[in-house]
Amino acid sequence: MRRRVAKLYEIQFLDVDSVQSELQFTLKDSVDCLRETKRALLQAAYAKKDARKLSNRLFKETAPVHIQTADILWAYYSAELTKKNQSLIRSFYVHQVFIEKDRIIIFVRFLYEKERNWFDLLKK
User: Cα(first)–Cα(last) distance of the chain, in Å?
Assistant: 57
Question: Torsion angle of alpha carbons 46, 70, 62, 51, nearest 10°?
Answer: 30
Kindly state the DSSP code that residue 115 receives in the 8-state scheme. Answer: T
The pTM of the full predicted model, rounded to 2 decimals, is 0.84
Which of 11-20, 22-31, 76-85, 112-121 bottoms out in mean pLDDT, i.e. has the lowest? Answer: 112-121
pLDDT tens per residue across span 23-69: 998 999 999 999 999 999 999 999 999 999 999 999 999 988 899 99
